[in-house]
Structure 1
């Protein structure tokens, strides 16, 4: 393999690792703090339970709300579908079996997530 090609591949690999590291450290919703459970709301057909957690970020960070989708009828791992900053309450309303409104954000629970960090 020629030296310029090898250097190019090494630089590409380093770039990919750096970008993945940034995503993992700052945007991966699986790394969010758990928080304290404040409510549980079951979907109309009983397939899902949305658990809302209040997360205390500490002395210098405002409270956040984390919404976790739990699968009642399927053997799937829970996933975080909602993360919003500067909130202390979770107003949750199921619109139908797959659609939920959390503090004014409409989400299809199978396809969408809301993360305030991606809005800025």
Structure 2
């Protein structure tokens, strides 16, 4: 029986760790987790915030996920969108999901990310 999602992995081009650290750490406010020694040589980096864990794995021949994406719940979505925009990330609002405010953005290597917050009272 499934009990939870342990983590979501996104791909990234080899050598993009500095860009990923700046975005996921500084812009999104996540904390980098040390990769186990057996996996550290593969490149990429891991991040966590609250119960969210994202792994960015280095992939030769990388192509960004343009449709597939993690849906990340946030608190204070307007301020969070402003934070991303202030760091140069494009923010695209979408009102198609009933009961939620949400927007899409992309990480610096082009992976699509969804940010959402339930509407109060829904």
Q: Based on CA coordinates, which of the two structures has the bigger radius of gyration?
A: 1
More RCO (CA 8 Å, sep 6+): 2
| Structure 1 and Structure 2 fold alike (TM over 0.5) | no
| TM, length-normalised to structure 1 | 0.26
